[in-house]
Structures are given as structure tokens and as C-alpha cells.
Amino acid sequence: MLAEVSLFGIFINAGLVSAFCAVLLLLLLRKGLHSVGAYRLVWHPALVDFALFILLWGAVTFAARALQTHLLFLLG
């Protein structure tokens, strides 16, 4: 199913919007991981960042789908 999000009259792919949200969450998570020194424990920080991005993207997509289903159930 293809889905779009209307942003000021411009239709943007929902996958792109969820990826952007995942990037914002990743930036916050990276800042926290750097502050506690977690990147000293990993072999390749870029691979960890990529894996975290994929996990966050899936989580954002799942949460958006669950929210949409819940709102449709409540509204009718």
C-alpha cells in the first residue's frame, strides 16, 4: 500500500517521512551514546549507527501504523 503525507499541499512519501523521523531519533541517540562512552566498546561505530537507524526506522514505521490503526478504530 502506498501512502503519502500532505505537507502544506505537497505530497511526500510516508517512508521518507518515517526515515526522517528515524534520523532525528538517531541523532539524539548518538549524542547520548557518545556522552556515556559507548562507542569505545564497538569495533565499527558506523555499522552500529546504520543498524540503529534500521531499527529506529522499523520502530517509527510500526508505531505510525499502530497509531493509524488505533485512531481509525476510535474514530469509526
> How far apart, in whole angstroms, are the C-alpha atoms of residue 72 and residue 51?
32
Its domain, for residue 24, covers: 4-75
State how many domains the chain has: 1
Q: What is the pLDDT of residue 45?
A: 94
Instruction: Supply 56's cell numbers.
Output: 529506529
pLDDT 10s digits, 19-66 = 999 999 999 999 999 999 999 999 999 999 999 999 999 999 999 888
Q: Rounded to two decimals, what is the model's pTM?
A: 0.84
Query: How far, in Å, CA of 47 to CA of 43, rounded?
Result: 9
Q: Tell which wins on pLDDT, 11 or 25.
A: 25
